[in-house]
A = this chain, B = another copy of it.
Amino acid sequence: MRLGAIEAGGTKMCCAICDENGNILERMTCPTLKPEETLPVMRAWFEDKNIDCLGIACFGPIDLHKDSETYGYVTTTPKPYWGNTDFVGAFRSLGVPIGFDTDVNGSVTGEATFGIAKGIKNVVYLTIGTGVGAGILCEGNLVHGMLHPEGGHILLTKRADDPMEGSNCPFHPNCFEGLCAGPAIQKRWGKPGKELGDREDVWDLQAWYIAQALVDYTMILSPEMIILGGGVSHQTQVLPMIRKYYAEFMNGYLKTKELEDLDNYIVVQSLDDNQGILGAAIIGLKELQAQG
């Protein structure tokens, strides 16, 4: 089959044709400009590609309620021009079933279908990059709830030696994203994370915050695996520090085979940053199957 897929991000859009075995047959990337510029470019690209379905994994917040008047919309995003945009509607004239979900639900679907979490039914995928978000597979289902998880905005305890006043989030003085996303690192240390690779104090603090968040994810969802994606997944020196603090914070409270082996419990994305687009393809395939 030919599965159309879109990974819609705040700075770029990735379009691809995939097959059901996790191969990417064709790919096109374009910058995220205004909706009236970018959506037609993508639609035109798919026009003659003979796709069976389309899956869209989209930045948020988005409306996932199928019975809502604004289903398929990007809703209240602060991103210029994109608020209240009918994303799915731009592709309806392709005449194929369209699946729609969050970017991070795309990534967790990719990893649970083709990647390191293949076959696992309870998985948390956390992207820590420009923002922080959570894609969650729970008992085999993607979590949506009343809206969709906004897992970057859980509240953390600030460390006394954090040199940043408050956080970088305009809403929350101590949320995960406000303390750990790329712009927070830039604000705190005056440089982007990728220029701070050898600064142990930077990553020690980062690991301390991330570990705190992971403990909360474990306590609430009891996932069988936690996958880290986004920029942090390329700073591999931070991973052992995260595991060390995680074990310290858990303090032996839970005994499971998964937690006895943190090297395989807290892992990084395994699909070379293709987890989102491959997951988008599967989200489209599932919609095709659901429509029978």
Q: Which of A141, A156, A219, A254 has the most CB of B within 10 A?
A: A219
Oligomeric state, in number of copies?
A: 2
Bits for A87-102, please: 1 = Cβ < 8 Å to B, else 0.
0000000000000000
CB neighbours (8 Å) of A256 from chain B are 146-147
CB neighbours (8 Å) of A255 from chain B are 75-76
CB neighbours (8 Å) of A251 from chain B are 171-172
Report how far A61 CA is from B254 CA in the complex, Å.
9
Known A-B contacts A146-B256, A253-B153, A253-B171; the reply to A216 vs B220 at CB < 8 A is yes
Complex contact B153–A156 (CB within 8 A) = no
Contact partner, A216, options B143, B144, B154, B253, Cβ 8 Å:
B154
CB neighbours (8 Å) of A107 from chain B are none
Closest chain B residue, CB of each to CB of A139 = B141
Report how far A222 CA is from B104 CA in the complex, Å.
15
Within 8 A of B (CB), among A138-157: 138-139, 141-157
Bits for A155-171, please: 1 = Cβ < 8 Å to B, else 0.
11110000000000001
Complex contact A157–B174 (CB within 8 A) = yes
Q: Which of A217, A221, A224 has the most CB of B within 10 A?
A: A221
Within 8 A of B (CB), among A239-274: 249-256, 258-259
Complex contact B141–A219 (CB within 8 A) = no
The interface of chain A, by Cβ under 8 A from chain B, is: 61, 75-76, 122, 134, 136, 138-139, 141-158, 171-172, 174, 212, 215-224, 249-256, 258-259
